[in-house]
Amino acid sequence: MANNKKLYVSPLVERNASKEMAELFGAQKKFSTWRRLWLELAKAQKKLGLDIKQNQINEMAKHLDDIDFKKATAYEKKFRHDCFAHIHTFAEAAPKAAPIIHLGATSCFVGDNADLIIMREALQITSGKLAAVINLLGRFAKKYRSLATLGFTHFQPAQLTTIGKRATLWCYEFVMDLREIEYRLETLPFRGVKRYHRYTGFFFGTF
């Protein structure tokens, strides 16, 4: 499918994104993260007293990455719901765990939380690359700190400055960007498992 030039492919992925970032936002990462969330949900529910067996959890843990996407596509065509499709696909891979997968949760539990996890990892990748750019620009500024060049203002020649001074101005903008990313990483909330108000009855009646 990737070689079919009749299909639209975003240039942000095909031309501009690193392999690392493209894989991070790919289907394998997304749906394997869903399975990890379902696993952690089952562990927490077992710890809180639900009748969940350890062998069910063990079976889920063995099938976090072996996703049958053809089967998931067939289920999605049947149910018209991606979450239902992947619940059934996971249940076929881990049949002992079928009754407890997604127990009491809504689709937002996996959908929203997985998106938050992926966005956090993307910000971590970006911050690392941005720090590397700042480091390189800092070296460049130091190397050319005494090399004179003509300044410009309003597209007009101005007084002399140095290449190094100019580079520090570029660098400072990246520093501000890095601070913003670090702030977002520190304050990015996790959605958690809580259901919408009208669906909270399951938890009240279970625990």
pLDDT tens series, the chain, 207 aa: 556 788 898 998 989 999 999 999 999 999 999 999 999 999 999 999 999 999 999 999 999 999 999 999 999 999 999 999 999 999 999 999 999 999 999 999 999 999 999 999 999 999 999 999 999 999 999 999 999 998 888 888 889 999 999 999 999 999 999 999 999 999 999 998 987 655 555 665 665
Per-residue buried b or exposed e for 122-151, using 16+ beta carbons within 10 Å of the residue's own CB: ebeeebeebeeebeebbebbeebeeeeeee
Per DSSP (E only), the strands in 91-192 are: 148-153, 156-162
Describe the crossing of helices 82-93 and 27-47 by its angle, rounded to 10 degrees: 70
pTM of this structure: 0.88
CATH of the domain at 54: 1.10.275.10
| 3-class secondary-structure state, position 40 | helix
Is 206 inside any structural domain?
Answer: no
Per the CB < 8 A criterion, the answer to whether 122 and 21 are in contact is yes
Both 99 and 124 in one domain: the answer is no
The residue to which tokens 């997985």 are assigned: 114
Is 37 inside any structural domain?
Answer: yes
Both 31 and 83 in one domain: the answer is yes
Per the CB < 8 A criterion, the answer to whether 199 and 105 are in contact is no
Is 199 inside any structural domain?
Answer: no
Both 92 and 119 in one domain: the answer is no
Both 83 and 135 in one domain: the answer is no
Both 173 and 121 in one domain: the answer is yes
Domain that holds residue 53: 27-103
Cβ burial of 113 (10 Å; 0-12, 13-18, 19+) is buried
Is 96 inside any structural domain?
Answer: yes
* Total count of domains within the chain: 2
Both 123 and 59 in one domain: the answer is no
Both 98 and 123 in one domain: the answer is no
Both 145 and 92 in one domain: the answer is no
